[in-house]
A and B are shown apart, each in its own frame.
Chain A
Amino acid sequence: MSSFSNEQLERYSRHIILREVGVKGQDRLLKARVLIIGAGGLGAPAAMYLAAAGVGVLGIADADAVELSNLQRQIIHGTPDIGKPKAESARASMERINPEIKVNAYQTYVSAANVMDLMADYDFVIDGTDNFAAKFLINDACVIARKPFSHAGIIRFQGQLFTYVPGNGPCYRCIFDSPPPPDAVPTCSQAGVIGAMGGVIGSLQAMEAVKFITGAGNLLTGSLLTCDALRMEFRKVRLHRRRECQVCGDRPSITAPFDYAAPVCDIAP
């Protein structure tokens, strides 16, 4: 175990005092590597909390630039960041929160061509993307690479998430076999989303990453947690792996990541 500086002991004191974390858990956080895909509504709070928590290496991948319409929810970016690449803007915020950590900014779309390389160096992946093509790609890649990840989606006043750990509960494709056709289900740009919904669900994704790294408690595997903020109801729906799942089933037909057609959330901001 590495020895902590006085500054580290102070910075992480509220973690270290926790029985479930302690010096050992904080040491694991400092040595952990988490990849966050999407520096938006979900990725912003996830990245900020994981930076603050002292996760040693954080990857943040996003191909887009910050736009005015992002700022209602993407709290990692500020008004002066409009026009800057989101990955770089996010990196600057994360380093401002915690200069101790290393942040790798990837200004790129995640595709079948780069997803395996991108996630290879990381212990845990956070899906903070906004389209089904990316969500299925990340799921397939993580199942194939046996990489744990947190899936989440938000829309309007609703959100959902679950955690995939190889050999433990369903994957995204067990629950949703394949992406819906474009415009078959509402997207955020069409239907809207409350900014704080990203805060709620993205923070829970960070929580899952912290629990995975430190070994504290039980992960959200084998259940989908849904949040209906209008009724202020959280429900945990228990689910099991589908043996005929195309990617994690007994006889998978998908054995390499592939790209679906263009993203769904593609109308003008």
Chain B
Amino acid sequence: MNIIVSGVKKEYPEGLTVQSLIEAENVEAQMYVTVSVNEEFVKNAEFADTVLSENDSVEFLYFMGGGI
């Protein structure tokens, strides 16, 4: 099925969870990433149980602490 990851269409097997996508995409600091699916936030505790569907749009948002 197609999943849109950070704006890019990708092919992933059916039954893909947010957690398995995070691992497959090699996301940095995985414990602390914020994930949105179709513009709605997914709680960290629900990553493993959230199954993605065809054409879901997933965004990874990262802490950026710099500024000074």
Interface residues of A (CB under 8 A from B): 38, 40-43, 64, 70, 74, 127-132, 135, 152-155, 158-160, 174-176, 180, 184-188, 193, 198, 224, 226, 235, 237-240, 242, 264-265
Indicate if the CB atoms of B41 and A242 lie closer than 8 Å: yes
Chain A residues within 8 Å of B61, by CB = 160, 175-176, 224, 226, 237
Q: Closest residue of chain B to A193, judged by CB? A: B66
A36 to chain B, nearest CB (A): 11
Contact A264 B39, CB 8 Å, known A175-B34, A235-B7, A237-B59: no
User: How far apart are the CA atoms of A130 and B67 in the complex, in Å?
Assistant: 4
Q: Closest residue of chain B to A155, judged by CB? A: B66
Chain A residues within 8 Å of B63, by CB = 132, 153, 176, 180, 185
Chain A residues within 8 Å of B40, by CB = 240
Q: Closest residue of chain B to A197, judged by CB? A: B66
Chain B residues within 8 Å of A153, by CB = 63-67
- Per a CB cutoff under 8 Å, which of A38, A176, A180 touches B67? A38
B24 to chain A, nearest CB (A): 20
Q: Closest residue of chain B to A240, judged by CB? A: B39
User: How far apart are the CA atoms of A41 and B65 in the complex, in Å?
Assistant: 12
Chain B residues within 8 Å of A176, by CB = 34, 61, 63
User: How far apart are the CA atoms of A184 and B62 in the complex, in Å?
Assistant: 12
Show 26 residue pairs from A and B whose CB-CB distance is below 8 angstroms, ordered by the A residue: A38-B68, A40-B68, A41-B67, A42-B67, A64-B68, A129-B67, A132-B65, A135-B65, A154-B67, A155-B65, A155-B66, A159-B64, A175-B34, A176-B34, A184-B31, A185-B29, A185-B65, A188-B65, A188-B67, A226-B61, A235-B6, A235-B7, A237-B36, A237-B61, A239-B36, A264-B65
